[in-house]
Amino acid sequence: MRITIDAVAAWREAGERFTMVTAYDYTSARLIERTEVPLILVGDSLGMVMQGHDTTLPVTVDDIVSHTRSVVRGAARPLIVADVPFGATATADDTVRAAVRIMAEGGCQSVKIEGGVPVAPTIRRIVDAGIPVMGHVGFTPQSVHVTGTRVQGRTVEQARRVIHDALAVQAAGAWAVVLELVPAELAAAVTARLRIPTIGIGAGAGCSGQVQVWHDLLGLYEDFRPRHARRFRDLGAEVRGALDEYAAAVRDGSFPAAEHAATMSADDLARALEDPA
């Protein structure tokens, strides 16, 4: 049975903290399916960790649809949310069209849209079209060229903006909101003021839940290490170790071993060699 938005709302009511992790492919989704993590985000962070871009901006709706399909095929239990990418948000009409496509072709249960007060009317249109929307305020990576990669809400004026953005997203009908890179005290206060769950990343422990990027929490993205992430494993080192062992085993002849290939009788082989044609 798939996790529902109502279940997430009930966890918030009960004060049960929950987790969300990004995934972009079938194999990762299969792994998440067998863990206690109930929410998956097919984030446009795929532009950085999967495609090697400097920002999330080049990600297309086609990319999101394709990765979402792979994740949906791998995970039957988690609730799957997919990002509406920057390139699809020039106008409200574009954003609504992209959200419909991501839901219809991707097969996820919700979309996520970055932005607060200015995008609230668009969120309302998408919700009215029957699509659950997760908001995303504070630092919004799609606006990195405007804001820089900076904590949002450190000054009173900025903090008011984060509060207004979160309230606007909630009023527009979003069922949850990501709070990214905002001071922990502000995130806790926003969480207390909202009726919907908040999902923090770099926003302290006072949010209803937490979201992390797969590659950050497993130590797979080594280009930089975000301050907000904890490496729960160092799989980058594990992978390098495994590949070096593989290369060494092939060089020294210990791989492949007898059990890694089928065999045939010496007689059959001799007969085959007598008349190869």
Q: Which residues are catalytic?
A: 180
3-state secondary structure of 61: helix
Q: Least separation, in Å, of the C-beta of 270 and ligand KIV?
A: 60
Please, which residue, 8 or 211, has the CB nearer to ligand KIV? 211
Is the distance from CB of 194 to CB of 215 less than 8 angstroms?
A: no
Q: Least separation, in Å, of the C-beta of 153 and ligand KIV?
A: 16
**Rounded Cα–Cα distance for residues 219 and 236 (Å):** 6
Please, which residue, 128 or 222, has the CB nearer to ligand KIV? 222
| H-type alpha helices, the chain | 5-14, 26-33, 46-49, 61-74, 92-101, 120-128, 144-147, 156-171, 184-193, 214-217, 235-252, 266-274
3-state secondary structure of 160: helix
Q: What angle do CA 203, 52, 201 make, to 5 degrees?
A: 5
Write the CA distances from 16 to 38, 51, 145, integer angstroms: 12, 35, 36
Chain residues in the site for ligand KIV (CB under 6 A): 22, 41, 43-45, 83, 178, 180, 201, 211, 213
Please, which residue, 3 or 217, has the CB nearer to ligand KIV? 217
Please, which residue, 173 or 202, has the CB nearer to ligand KIV? 202
Q: Least separation, in Å, of the C-beta of 20 and ligand KIV?
A: 8
Q: Least separation, in Å, of the C-beta of 199 and ligand KIV?
A: 8
